[in-house]
Amino acid sequence: MASIVNITEKLGSQAAAKAFTLTSAVWFAFATSFGMIAAGYLIAPDFMANIEFIQFGRSRPIHVNLVLFGFVTPGLLAAALYYAPRLLRTHLYSQRLGVVTAILWNLTLVIGVISLGMGYSQGREYAELPWAVDLMIAGLFGLVIFNLFMTVHRRQEPILYVSIWYACAAVVLTAVGYCLGNVIWKPDSGALLGIPDAILLWFYGHNIFGLLLTPLALGVAYYVLPLATRSPLYSHTLSLIGFWSLIVVYTHVGTHHLLQVPVPTWLKAISIVDSVGMVIPVMVFLINIWFTVKGKLGDIHADIGAKFVFTGTIMYFFANIQGSFMALPQVQRVTHFNNWVVGHAHLGVFAFAGITALGGLYFILPKITKKPLYSRYLADLQYWLILIGVSVMIIDLTIVGLLQGNAWLNGETVYRVLPEIHLYYVIRASAGLFILSGAYLGLYNIVRTLFFNPGAATE
């Protein structure tokens, strides 16, 4: 207890946001390292084949779980823990609770990585973590919900700005969705049987993106962009239409992952219609935010946080157009079961949500430390490394997907296609090196800003 008080005091004001910022930056570096290992195995499967802990079947889920729960979610939460009290004109209910949550969050991730590395996996995508870790994650969301809702309860500001809606909805819906998707009432398998399990898993699976990462990221964009450009939000009505249409439409898209599976046709129809319908919440949001910053690109360029976040909104546009397109069964006949989907995953989770998370971190860092960023130059360099890396990776994986998909349709065997795509795997790993360098540069810049920053205080 005394040591937690100590840590909170050491971190100073905004301790919770700082702890989550550090968490995100550290795990970004680890997550991309595991991504590189996984990409390495796809180029040379025998390379390091004798090290069980990092073989592909283990480094892949470690990579995926770390980007989701180690990098992107904590990054977006750091921003939320900073902006929520400000928008509500009050203090965070408990900074100490926020720091405890961050410490437990890190502990949970360490246990998760060790479990997956040792082969303890429940083998369901995005729900690989063993039962005990699932319980810890559900509990952590519970702690965030408590802190956030108590802050809302104590607010001085009667009007709830849309970022608050998004942050609150994200954590509550994810706490429930996580328990359902991980079949938490079945500790041994963490699964139902057969097709119902697939339906439930993908209901949860896409909601990790649709009801956790997306709303948290939109909350950050709605906070950062109007402030950085000193412009009032274009339309509060549109912001609420966007929020409710997202909640209604996004909850029903999960079965678009199962269009090639014998699930009931009506469920597939709903998922396809709603996937195409996702154009509504996305465009409503984009029109609103882009009209807000219209004519202010100079301001966005001047603020590194806003620059990342604005880039995230452009990537959201592409993720949506691509996503709605690939939910059409005729398109999925080519794009399913191959690297096209992996490309889309990096576009959505990284280029949209991850880049927005980084923007949120860079936007709040000078405010929570009351000092300028340690190095704007390094942050810009990180921006370009990441943007180039992820763009090359997405284009590369999309081409590989088309090659694989068309070969499959033509009845070509997998092993004859592998030599053809080998070069593209090398390009993907090379693009990964850009992202990896960006992650480590970012970690250095953030640690320097938080703890060893000679810059003069700004307030």
Q: Summarize as ranges the residues that interact with ligand HEM (CB under 6 A).
A: 32, 35-36, 38-39, 42, 60, 63-64, 67, 71-72, 125, 209, 213-214, 256-257, 275, 278, 282, 319-320, 323-324, 326-327, 332, 335-336, 341-342, 344-346, 348-350, 352-354, 429, 432, 435-436
Nearer to ligand HEM, 238 or 355 (CB): 355
- Cα–Cα distance, 457 to 453 (Å, whole number): 10
Query: Residue 340 CB, nearest distance to ligand HEM (Å)?
Result: 7
Dihedral angle at the C-alpha atoms of 99, 100, 106, 108, nearest 10 degrees? -160
- Cα–Cα distance, 216 to 170 (Å, whole number): 6
Q: Which two tokens stand for residue 306?
A: 């806003």
Distance of CA 393 to the CA centre of its chain: 17
Q: Which two tokens stand for residue 258?
A: 């199962």
Under 8 Å CB-to-CB from 330, ≥6 apart: which residues? none
With beta carbons less than 8 A apart as the criterion, state whether 87 and 163 touch.
yes
Nearer to ligand HEM, 71 or 93 (CB): 71
Nearer to ligand HEM, 26 or 143 (CB): 26
Query: Residue 199 CB, nearest distance to ligand HEM (Å)?
Result: 14
With CA atoms as reference, report the closest residue to 360 among 260, 216, 180, 146.
216
Query: Residue 71 CB, nearest distance to ligand HEM (Å)?
Result: 6
Q: What is the DSSP letter of 346?
A: I
Nearer to ligand HEM, 130 or 343 (CB): 343
Query: Residue 233 CB, nearest distance to ligand HEM (Å)?
Result: 21
Q: What angle do CA 216, 337, 174 make, to 5 degrees?
A: 25
Identity of the residue numbered 118: M
Query: Residue 339 CB, nearest distance to ligand HEM (Å)?
Result: 6
Nearer to ligand HEM, 350 or 383 (CB): 350
Query: Residue 159 CB, nearest distance to ligand HEM (Å)?
Result: 28
Distance of CA 370 to the CA centre of its chain: 27
Q: What is the DSSP letter of 124?
A: S
Nearer to ligand HEM, 97 or 439 (CB): 439
Nearer to ligand HEM, 8 or 275 (CB): 275
First and final C-alpha spacing in the chain: 31
Nearer to ligand HEM, 58 or 296 (CB): 58
Under 8 Å CB-to-CB from 425, ≥6 apart: which residues? 39, 42, 43, 400
Query: Residue 330 CB, nearest distance to ligand HEM (Å)?
Result: 12
Query: Residue 320 CB, nearest distance to ligand HEM (Å)?
Result: 4
- Cα–Cα distance, 366 to 94 (Å, whole number): 21
Nearer to ligand HEM, 71 or 383 (CB): 71
With CA atoms as reference, report the closest residue to 346 among 30, 76, 80, 63.
63
Query: Residue 354 CB, nearest distance to ligand HEM (Å)?
Result: 4
Residue with tokens 């040591």: 3
